[in-house]
Chains A and B, each alone.
Chain A
Amino acid sequence: MPEKIEATDHGPVHYEPEPATLVRREAFTDGDSVFAFELQERDTLGHLPGQFVQLFIPGVGEAPFSVSSSPTDEGPFELCIREVGKVTNAIHDLEVGDTVGIRGPFGEVCDIETFADNDVLFIAGGIGLAPLRSMINYVLAHRDWFDDVTVLYGCKEPAEMLYPAEVRQWEQSDIIDFRMTVDGVPEGQTWDGNVGVITTLIPGLNLDPENTYTVVCGPPVMFQFVQQELDEKEIPHEQIYLSLERRMHCGVGLCGHCQINDLYVCQDGPVFNYEVIKNRPEALS
């Protein structure tokens, strides 16, 4: 009789989180904070701008978050997280020094190097700034590779602004054209900038469509209206990228939750070329 056969040659194990320490947290709004983590067993996360990690809280659960720091930033990696559910509530309860589990980085991203010698336009709506920030800061760290760099950022109201200190720097910087708007100004808040949805910022841009690469991230409803404006500007669809969000349970193309028609956000995205995604009816509806 044969001996019990043991499977050998263990492949990579995707499901095991590695410990990471929360080293810093900072609140931006009532519900949005940035959390900086250091891996306990490795020096750096080794991510590309636009990639995401799965963050695991023992006893609670796991959820995917785009990394909001650029690989060019020194020190711990950052996740900007809005309190909207079980896992994100538990993250907001963390104290500096606490340990969490991290899996990843995961995901396919756009190769920002291909934007070199062209103009780059970032369009961020609300919490959509979090994933885009990794790319914005990556571009700024290699500023001389690119021609004009423009960032459009829209929030519901002034109090919802993320990364306010950095936003102020961008506003004053002469190496990027940063423009911001808020949907409205509730009583009690002050604002002397643009008021209106983010799409109102696009017509006023002086773009060179053939030489402009655009990356967009925001709530699903924002995409179609932004796209209409980008079409007005005649930006070729293959030069437009979107960072999309879906539910995920594995991060490795198996659990099925993040599927957009035949594509998997965890493996084919989260950053998609618009030319690839525009004919997938489930992408932007």
Chain B
Amino acid sequence: MKILAKYEFDELVNKWIAEDPREVVGATHDGTKFVFDDIDDAEELRLDYDLTMLSPKKYFFPQRERLVQYDTNENDYAMVQDWSEESRIIVGIHPYDLVAIEQLDDIFIDAQGDEPYRRKRENSVLIGVTMQSVSEHSFAASMGTARTETGYDLLVTELEDTYAIEIGSEKGSGLLEEAPTKEASLEEVEAVEEQKAAVESKFEKGIEFSPKQLPSLLKEGYDAVEVWDEYADGCLSCGTCNVVCPTCYCFNVDVVDYMTDEVGETRRRWDGCLLEEFAAVAGGENFREERVARHRHRLMRKGNYLYERFGDIACVGCGRCTKQCVADVADPSEIYNELWRSVNA
């Protein structure tokens, strides 16, 4: 563990902004809400935030991105891959978002070999931050994601006048090379541990059982229609819960022509399984026509389906869906708890 005075850390970040070929982005406040965005100065960082609007997922799997560019001119039918290779230093990622990115890495890179994601992800550096504030909607502690020992290149914990910095990778240690770091003292290491532990008691919400039980609970509760109905009844099928989720990754692929039939591109954009047409096929069949079926699918996918396939519980308890749901029916902790009570009644 390394120690940097706060002003030294700011200087380091400003040096990256000035000199590093990668773009520096971080947790900041845009005047109305916390977001991950470009920063022009370390002063813009807000490492005390509780919850950002979107997770840093957007940097590796953007809302819209070109997949393939095509040109059919003069019978020269070329499908030109042209995905941008963006690279970033991302500062201030909470542990639950680091966990979410690790899961997406497993799926996009290791399991399915998605090149557009891999290129952006592998060109980027993740700088985590130990949580200081906790959103009233978050239940990350109960999901075991309020702290993490993996998934970051550097992890920063604020102490009194200094930052304690844990190194998670060579990429991370490379960033510190020219910084005037000191080795942390035993007391400082202890203080970091205390902070991490203290955060876990700040959560107001939580699931009332071990997250390890979630896959079995969902399997057993699949037919607990009264629970699903209770929440689906108010659902507006707007898909906001999907859009703000750090582990949702469903997408559509559109063809966009450049005002000619010959040249254009395919683009993927975020889609959401709550949207009515999500499972509709040409010919009129809609395989998840009922709102309750779509609502249940989201929660099954988070707690059971993706676990069965890839071994991770895909809800990290960030609370974004709860916070943004207009109808107030999206809170996974509430639904999972109700399901727990219903199945154990």
Q: Write out, one digit per residue, whether chain B residues 257-281 have a CB within 8 A of any chain A CB (1) or not (0).
A: 1000110101010010100001111
A250: which of B253, B264, B278, B281 is its contact (CB, 8 Å)? Answer: B253
- A99 CA to B81 CA in the complex, in Å? 18
Task: Tell whether A85 pairs with B254 under 8 Å between CB atoms, given A58-B261, A59-B264.
Answer: no
Is A166's beta carbon under 8 Å from chain B? no
List, in ascending order, chain A residues with CB within 8 A of B257's CB: 58-59
Is B250's beta carbon under 8 Å from chain A? yes
- A12 CA to B113 CA in the complex, in Å? 7
Is A196's beta carbon under 8 Å from chain B? no
Within 8 A of B (CB), among A243-267: 245-247, 249-250, 252-257, 259-262
How many whole Å from A86's CB to the nearest CB in chain B? Answer: 8
Whose C-beta in chain B lies nearest to the C-beta of A282?
B287
- A61 CA to B309 CA in the complex, in Å? 29
Whose C-beta in chain B lies nearest to the C-beta of A244?
B287
- A8 CA to B15 CA in the complex, in Å? 27
B115: which of A10, A250, A261 is its contact (CB, 8 Å)? Answer: A10
- A85 CA to B251 CA in the complex, in Å? 20
How many whole Å from B66's CB to the nearest CB in chain A? Answer: 10
Is A165's beta carbon under 8 Å from chain B? no
- A3 CA to B87 CA in the complex, in Å? 11
A259: which of B20, B116, B262, B305 is its contact (CB, 8 Å)? Answer: B305
Whose C-beta in chain B lies nearest to the C-beta of A60?
B255
- A61 CA to B268 CA in the complex, in Å? 12
Chain B interface main SS type: mixed
Is B194's beta carbon under 8 Å from chain A? no
Task: Tell whether A101 pairs with B255 under 8 Å between CB atoms, given A15-B266, A59-B261, A63-B282.
Answer: no
- A35 CA to B308 CA in the complex, in Å? 39
Q: Is the CB of A4 within 8 A of B300?
A: no
How many whole Å from A280's CB to the nearest CB in chain B? Answer: 10
List, in ascending order, chain A residues with CB within 8 A of B174's CB: 2
Task: Tell whether A16 pairs with B68 under 8 Å between CB atoms, given A4-B21, A7-B123, A254-B112.
Answer: yes
Q: Is the CB of B250 within 8 A of A255?
A: yes
Q: Write out, one digit per residue, whether chain B residues 172-189 have a CB within 8 A of any chain A CB (1) or not (0).
A: 001100100000000000
- A38 CA to B307 CA in the complex, in Å? 41
Q: Is the CB of A84 within 8 A of B282?
A: yes
Q: Is the CB of A17 within 8 A of B300?
A: no
Give the one of B81, B113, B174, B293 with max A CB within 10 A. B113
B273: which of A13, A87, A256 is its contact (CB, 8 Å)? Answer: A256
Q: Is the CB of B20 within 8 A of A247?
A: no
How many whole Å from A90's CB to the nearest CB in chain B? Answer: 10
User: What are 24 A-B contacts defined by CB distance under 8 Å?
Assistant: A1-B19, A3-B21, A4-B21, A4-B22, A4-B87, A5-B171, A12-B113, A15-B253, A16-B81, A19-B77, A40-B77, A59-B264, A88-B282, A99-B72, A99-B77, A101-B77, A247-B278, A247-B287, A250-B253, A252-B114, A254-B107, A254-B114, A259-B279, A259-B305
On A, residues with C-beta under 8 Å from B are: 1-7, 10-19, 40, 56-63, 82, 84-88, 99, 101, 219-220, 245-247, 249-250, 252-257, 259-262, 281-282, 285
Question: Which 9 pairs of residues, A with B, have the shortest CB-CB distance?
Answer: A85-B282, A256-B250, A4-B21, A262-B305, A7-B122, A59-B257, A11-B113, A7-B119, A19-B77
